[in-house]
């Protein structure tokens, strides 16, 4: 198949970003409703929609998600009429989290209903940073492009962070709680503990590669982290500020060491931490800047993260 014949629909934001990083933006013909980066893909037809009210409060979103999943439905629906019109040769999706994006079975069902085309499905399932790099390599191989320079650049950025924090003593490595959801309280997992540790922190509550666990308030209070970082799934900096401020109204919040020392932060989780693509290198640099401002100054402050 010649490059001119390739027509890709990406149903996952990280997949869209991987395609763009590999120089394949001009082959993308359709996207998910959540694909918003890079800006040049925003004009493309949208092939998915959410079955829930994304502007609701965190607790209500959580309840909606549970209700939809218990009904054996996907949280997202695929617009098969638009897929039919686009006649893609490839569809990029994920098989990692039913809450993050369209599920693989849903995509397979949609593809089976297409008349005009039978696209190849490329499904990504990353849990660790290494998996993300493998995904980039895999997508590059599928479309016959070189990923060596892209991966070398990403890995070099990781190595710079590692080297700069290598000389720190254990006392200089703060304990860190990364909050992925506020109502109920959930810990950011998968690649996040790994990024925290690479950035010179000690990640609390879960190990790298695990899925996000619920966090009891009593556990948070008892562990009393040095640093708390909010990175709710799907929320930008402004929305994260609203969600975090609701949490800080709890009376026990003032007891926390991180609160008393001014080490509570908000981030743009939607653009960075929640997306297992090339911008995880940016996410690592953001964490390094938050945890060790005496060593790192990348310039992400007030756009990608802020003090709460």
Q: What is the pLDDT of residues 78-98, one digit of tens each?
A: 898 999 999 999 999 987 655
Q: Using CA atoms, how far apart are residues 221 and 121, in angstroms rounded to an integer?
A: 45
**Are 213 and 112 in the same domain?**
no
Q: φ and ψ at 78, to 5 degrees?
A: -100, 135
Number of domains in the chain: 2
Let me know if residue 131 belongs to a domain.
no
Report the sign of the C-alpha dihedral through residues 159, 203, 183, 230, in that order. Answer: negative
**Are 176 and 102 in the same domain?**
no
Which CATH number does the domain housing residue 53 bear?
3.40.50.1980
Q: Using CA atoms, how far apart are residues 103 and 51, in angstroms rounded to an integer?
A: 13
User: pTM of the predicted model, to two decimals?
Assistant: 0.89
The whole domain housing 297 covers 167-307
Instruction: Please state whether the peptide bond connecting residue 117 to the residue before it is cis, i.e. omega within 30 degrees of 0.
Output: no
Let me know if residue 142 belongs to a domain.
no
Instruction: Please state whether the peptide bond connecting residue 16 to the residue before it is cis, i.e. omega within 30 degrees of 0.
Output: no
Let me know if residue 263 belongs to a domain.
yes
pLDDT for residue 1 is more than 60: no
Let me know if residue 103 belongs to a domain.
yes
**Are 92 and 173 in the same domain?**
no
Q: Using CA atoms, how far apart are residues 282 and 284, in angstroms rounded to an integer?
A: 5
**Are 303 and 186 in the same domain?**
yes
Q: Using CA atoms, how far apart are residues 283 and 264, in angstroms rounded to an integer?
A: 17
What are 140-198's pLDDT values in tens digits? 999 999 999 999 999 999 999 999 999 899 999 999 999 998 888 899 999 999 999 99
What are 226-264's pLDDT values in tens digits? 999 999 988 899 999 998 988 888 888 999 999 999 999
What are 96-138's pLDDT values in tens digits? 655 556 777 788 888 888 877 789 999 998 999 999 999 999 9
Let me know if residue 130 belongs to a domain.
no
Domain boundary among 105, 125, 145: 125
Domain boundary among 108, 125, 142: 125
**Are 116 and 215 in the same domain?**
no
């Amino acid at each position: 198949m010649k490059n001119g014949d390739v027509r890709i629909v990406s149903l996952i934001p990280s997949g869209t970003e991987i395609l763009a990083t590999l120089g394949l933006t001009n082959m993308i013909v359709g996207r998910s409703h959540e694909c918003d980066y890079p800006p040049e893909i925003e004009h493309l037809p949208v092939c998915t929609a959410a079955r829930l009210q994304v502007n609701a409060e965190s607790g209500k979103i959580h309840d909606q998600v549970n209700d939809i999943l218990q009904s054996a439905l996907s949280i997202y629906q695929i617009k098969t009429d638009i897929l039919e019109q686009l006649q893609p040769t490839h569809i990029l999706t994920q098989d990692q989290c039913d809450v993050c994006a369209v599920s693989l079975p849903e995509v397979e069902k949609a593809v089976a209903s297409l008349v005009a085309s039978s696209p190849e499905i490329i499904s990504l399932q990353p849990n660790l940073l290494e998996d993300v790099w493998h995904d980039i390599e895999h997508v590059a191989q599928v479309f016959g492009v070189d990923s060596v320079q892209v991966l070398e650049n990403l890995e070099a950025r990781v190595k710079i962070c590692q080297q700069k924090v290598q000389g720190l003593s254990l006392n200089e490595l703060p304990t860190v709680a990364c909050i992925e959801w506020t109502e109920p309280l959930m810990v950011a997992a998968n690649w996040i503990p790994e990024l925290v540790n690479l950035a010179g922190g000690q990640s609390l509550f879960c190990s790298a590669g695990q899925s996000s666990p619920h966090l009891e308030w009593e556990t948070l209070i008892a562990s009393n982290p040095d640093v708390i970082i909010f990175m709710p799934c799907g929320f930008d900096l402004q929305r994260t500020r609203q969600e975090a401020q609701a949490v800080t109204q709890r009376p026990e919040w003032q007891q926390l060491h991180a609160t008393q020392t001014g080490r509570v932060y908000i981030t743009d989780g939607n653009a960075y931490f929640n997306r297992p693509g090339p911008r995880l290198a940016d996410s690592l640099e953001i964490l390094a800047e938050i945890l060790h401002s005496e060593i790192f100054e990348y310039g992400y402050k007030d756009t990608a993260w802020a003090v709460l």
